[in-house]
Structure 1
Amino acid sequence: MDGGSSSDREKMTGFLRRLSFQPVSLRVHDIVIKGNSRTRESLIEAEVINAFRSASTMQEVIQAASIANAKLRRLDIFDSVSITLDAGPPELPNTTNVVIEVVEARNPLTGDVGIFTKPEARSWSLEGSLKWKNALGYGDIWDATGAYGWDQTTELGIGVRMPRLKTFSIPLTARISLLSQDWLKFSSYTERMLGLYVGLISTKYHDLAYHLTWRTLTDPSRMSSPSIRRQLGHSLLSSLKYTFKIDRRDSHLRPMRGYAFVSTSQLGGFGDSRFLRFVRQEFDLRGAVPLGFYNTALNLGVSAGIILPWGKGFMSTGTPVSERFYMGGQSSPVCSLGGPTSFSSPGRDVLGGDLAATAFADLSFDLPLKLFREAGIHGHAFLCAGNLAKLSENEIDSFSPRRFLQSFRSTAGVGIIIPTKLFRVEINYCRVLKQSEHDHGKTGVQFSFSSPL
């Protein structure tokens, strides 16, 4: 017995030594799938087959098993995935059977609800979502979302995401949404949108999507400016949007090192000449550098965007008011681009800009108490600046780059960030350093509740 055990140990030691220093010939004979009572076997095979197809050594098969495990987990329909290697048929030496055992989600129906704030618009919203996973057995995830804002904003949506369509490995995403926004607090119009979104290409770095939106602008106050009155009524937006993204940061919530870059290009006006026609381009670049004390990191970022109409006499026409850029106000950590906000002047139409530029610096650091550090509670100080300019309707003739830079708005502040499982809490003291004549930004304490993701 002892001699046999010693011999087995020597064989195993020799095999491991060989595995470490030279390739061991091995090919996959068969893929065996277990535990998939609801999920189609063809889906699992299609997700993993390419990883194992070219593997010809033990090392490559092990690496392929790791890749296949990660791909199946990313489907988000299994509670667990395990992959083991079994001996192949005796008549076929140097072969293995790959055994994939999955545990499907016990409860395919999940949901969440939360209350979030938008300090830049001084508004609250109640948001909820419901997901039904793997309803058809193709890895499909159906979701229904709803949001109600105390600022008279309502949004409803339903969508589906599938990891592949038959033999095509490109994910398919489709969504229908209904959005109603009341901008009367900051401007003179209300907006209603019924939209269809179809994801055409979605990879790690690239996204291509088609948007079809029926939009209605109304003026209940009957006090809108000429620029708004020209756009009242119905319009149809048919556009393609391409996004290139890369994120090399160690965390998107509190990055300590790395960089991220996003470029978004949108071309509106496919189809009839009466559709909204514009070209929109945005860039966003961010970087984080550790400073080496108190877990401190400096985050820097710049964003820029431009939108222009296209077609005959394009510079004399206006851009869609709801597609223009707006300053996000005092909210940390950056003067973001979005809809009309509290930084804008009530009683005046907020028209936004065709050209936008923002920049920010954010210094994050640990707080002295160990209790705070263990809970992830940390402090930060930030400075942000940005500006807008109109270029369409022949306004480009009077545009001055020097005046654009000199009239930048700016805000500084300090605060505490409290991450929780339900939401992310920010308590910031913000001070407006510079604002335009008709801006109504205020210095003071702000509370923010946002999604933890």
Structure 2
Amino acid sequence: MPITMTSTEEPSLQHSTNGDAEPNHHHDIEDDEEEEDDDQYDEDDDVVQQPNRGIPQSAATKLREQRFKVETLSRRLSSELVPIRVHDVVINGNTKTKDWVIQAELRGVENATSMQELMQVSQIAIARLQELQTFDSCMFRLEAGPRELPNTVNVIVDVVETGNKVSAKFNVYNKPSTSSWTAEGALKYKNFLGYGDLWDASLAYGANQGTEVSAGVHAPRVRGFLTPIVARLSMLSQDWQEASSYKDQLLGASLGLISTEHHDLAYTLGWRTLSDPSQMSSRSIRRQLGHGLVSSLKYTFKIDRRNSPIRPTKGYAFLSSTHVGGLTPDPRSLRFLRQEFDVRFAVPFGFYNTALNLGISAGAVFPWGHGFKTKPSPLPERFYLGGDFSPVCTLGGPTTLWGFKTRGLGPSEPRRVNRDGSDDDNVDSSGWDFIGGDLAVTAFADLSFDLPIRWLREHGIHGHVFAGSGNAAKLSQNEYRHFSPRKFLESFRMSVGCGFVIPTRLFRLEGNYFYILRKGEQDRGKTGFRFSFSAPW
């Protein structure tokens, strides 16, 4: 988006000088010559700034004058600060978008004190306007201010609102809360109310037969609110029968209270239903089947300074998430406190684009309220480890562990055999439910490097070797009394492997060979070659 300067009368950008001052007779010859040259340039500038309007000028003469002005301004901008003040900001072209929506993105323009600062804040303002997804184009122009106010300009903002307000989008990404990939299609409508608002309806399908139907609105600028408004209605259904013998369905709404570059605060109110169609779930699963009220507040702090979300070769990232549930007096409300940490580092080696990515994630969840020591933590809020998608891309707490199936390790309980709904605890030795952990820790190391074939390097295809480990443990229902840090570390699952990576615009496709170094008796991990794909989250 360009910034241009147009004026019928060029704004004065030079400090006024006193021509009647007595000359200094002690100057040497060189100083006198420099002074004469400066006077000559000043006279030339005066001629350019005040052309003889009585004599018609040819197009070539006007072009030379404009070129001289631009060259003079460029020399001044590169050598010194050019003082200037913004007299007024004028917005043109917005037929539906409210003026104050655009003005909110122009903060800092009116307070600029130099031409250099004005150009810098204008570029930032253009980037903010582009993020609204409301305008096809945006251009800043500078015009001379009033004659009686020297060194002033008027900033003219010309915008062109988008003609196609309806758009469709398809995306594939990883969702840490479900430990699986998700394909999503969305239909969006832009600027319906003139607030730069974005309305969308979406349908998502996950690898675990999870389906989500949702509709929402994102309004970046609303009067009376300091942060954007994000509201959403959704119905989420997930099938965990294979790993944990239950289905999870959540119908509710979420409201974003704070949404900035690094901070996010959201409130969720919903109705959750856990069911077991097979009637073979383990004791811990059966005790939590039924309905529950979700009333929770979640705060997330995130900072990502890596140079790429798909293949980071330098930088770092950090995420901290605090989730508090049970914010209503209803006894059916799920009361829990969940905390997660995630740290990533990418260290470049300086040859063959080699980089070492290191990461460690940890999380804990506890019930709260009267008698919390003997109560279990809610099943959907526990930590379930496993899944073949790459932890290099994801940033959302302990989830991934190479070589293990989704929800394929951690605390488990045997399922019961009979399907008649009785309370018989006969056990099928071949069926186990993974019930999740209240404490989870994972760590990984990934060394990526370019391959020696030029065509592969040009398309970003590279190789990597990796290692990962992790574990989960139960702490609720007085299990914390039997927790031993030493046993927890000794029972860490471990895997290593190597493979190739094909980055695309939507996701990261990997072909990897996994080798399991350590696993539990009931864990679902397997040595072998598998394809997988991951996307940033």
Q: TM-score, normalised by structure 2?
A: 0.78
Length, aligned pairs only: 451
Answering whether residue 520 of structure 2 is matched by residue 436 of structure 1, we say yes
Spell out, residue by residue over 1:351-396, the C-alpha distance to the aligned partner (whole angstroms, 9 max, x if none). Answer: 1000000000011111111111111111111111100000000000
Query: In structure 2, how many angstroms separate the alpha carbons of the residues matched to 1:173 and 1:362?
Result: 36
1:421 touches 1:452 (CA, 8 Å); kept in 2? no
Spell out, residue by residue over 1:393-433, the C-alpha distance to the aligned partner (whole angstroms, 9 max, x if none). Answer: 00000000000001001121212221223443222222222
Answering whether residue 498 of structure 2 is matched by residue 414 of structure 1, we say yes
Query: In structure 2, how many angstroms separate the alpha carbons of the residues matched to 1:297 and 1:56?
Result: 44
Residue number among 98, 104, 108 corresponding to 2:161 in the alignment? 104
Q: CA deviation at 1:126?
A: 4.6
Q: Determine the structure 1 residue equivalent to 2:365.
A: 307
2:387 touches 2:400 (CA, 8 Å); kept in 1? no
Q: Determine the structure 2 residue equivalent to 1:395.
A: 479
Long gaps (5+) in structure 1: none
Answering whether residue 343 of structure 2 is matched by residue 278 of structure 1, we say no
Q: CA deviation at 1:91?
A: 3.1
CA gap 1:39/1:397 in 2 versus in 1, 3 angstroms: same
1:40 touches 1:138 (CA, 8 Å); kept in 2? yes
Query: In structure 2, how many angstroms separate the alpha carbons of the residues matched to 1:104 and 1:132?
Result: 13
Query: In structure 2, how many angstroms separate the alpha carbons of the residues matched to 1:146 and 1:38?
Result: 29
Q: CA deviation at 1:165?
A: 1.4
User: SS at 1:388's partner residue?
Assistant: strand
Query: In structure 2, how many angstroms separate the alpha carbons of the residues matched to 1:303 and 1:332?
Result: 14
Report 1:226-305 matches (<5 A). 226-274=283-331, 275-305=333-363
Q: Determine the structure 2 residue equivalent to 1:341.
A: 406
Structure with the largest fraction of strand? 1
Query: In structure 2, how many angstroms separate the alpha carbons of the residues matched to 1:423 and 1:398?
Result: 42
Query: In structure 2, how many angstroms separate the alpha carbons of the residues matched to 1:59 and 1:116?
Result: 41
Q: CA deviation at 1:332?
A: 3.0
- Which residue identity lines up with residue 252 of structure 1 in the other structure? P
User: SS at 2:241's partner residue?
Assistant: coil
Q: CA deviation at 1:242?
A: 0.8
State which drifts further: 80-89 or 378-387.
Answer: 80-89
State which drifts further: 367-376 or 16-25.
Answer: 16-25
CA root-mean-square deviation: 2.8
CA gap 1:150/1:254 in 2 versus in 1, 3 angstroms: closer
Give the structure with higher Rg (CA): 2
2:398 touches 2:441 (CA, 8 Å); kept in 1? no
Residue number among 48, 56, 73 corresponding to 2:130 in the alignment? 73
User: SS at 1:250's partner residue?
Assistant: coil
Q: CA deviation at 1:75?
A: 1.4
Answering whether residue 380 of structure 2 is matched by residue 322 of structure 1, we say yes
Q: Determine the structure 1 residue equivalent to 2:84.
A: 26
Q: CA deviation at 1:447?
A: 1.7
State which drifts further: 417-426 or 350-359.
Answer: 417-426
Query: In structure 2, how many angstroms separate the alpha carbons of the residues matched to 1:18 and 1:419?
Result: 46
Query: In structure 2, how many angstroms separate the alpha carbons of the residues matched to 1:116 and 1:20?
Result: 46
Spell out, residue by residue over 1:21-50, the C-alpha distance to the aligned partner (whole angstroms, 9 max, x if none). Answer: 4433322122222232332222111221x2
Query: In structure 2, how many angstroms separate the alpha carbons of the residues matched to 1:217 and 1:205?
Result: 34
Query: In structure 2, how many angstroms separate the alpha carbons of the residues matched to 1:115 and 1:280?
Result: 27
CA gap 1:271/1:123 in 2 versus in 1, 3 angstroms: closer
1:333 touches 1:384 (CA, 8 Å); kept in 2? no
CA gap 1:103/1:429 in 2 versus in 1, 3 angstroms: farther
Q: Determine the structure 2 residue equivalent to 1:365.
A: 449
Q: Determine the structure 1 residue equivalent to 2:233.
A: 176
1:139 touches 1:162 (CA, 8 Å); kept in 2? yes
State which drifts further: 315-324 or 227-236.
Answer: 227-236
Spell out, residue by residue over 1:217-256, the C-alpha distance to the aligned partner (whole angstroms, 9 max, x if none). Answer: 1121222222122211110111111111111111111111
1:86 touches 1:99 (CA, 8 Å); kept in 2? yes
Query: In structure 2, how many angstroms separate the alpha carbons of the residues matched to 1:225 and 1:194?
Result: 25
Q: TM-score, normalised by structure 1?
A: 0.91
Answering whether residue 191 of structure 2 is matched by residue 134 of structure 1, we say yes
Residue number among 201, 211, 223 corresponding to 1:144 in the alignment? 201
Q: CA deviation at 1:338?
A: 7.5
Residue number among 437, 440, 447 corresponding to 2:531 in the alignment? 447
Residue number among 140, 145, 149 corresponding to 1:92 in the alignment? 149
Query: In structure 2, how many angstroms separate the alpha carbons of the residues matched to 1:194 and 1:181?
Result: 12
State which drifts further: 131-140 or 97-106.
Answer: 97-106
CA gap 1:57/1:410 in 2 versus in 1, 3 angstroms: same
Q: Determine the structure 2 residue equivalent to 1:60.
A: 117
User: SS at 1:348's partner residue?
Assistant: strand
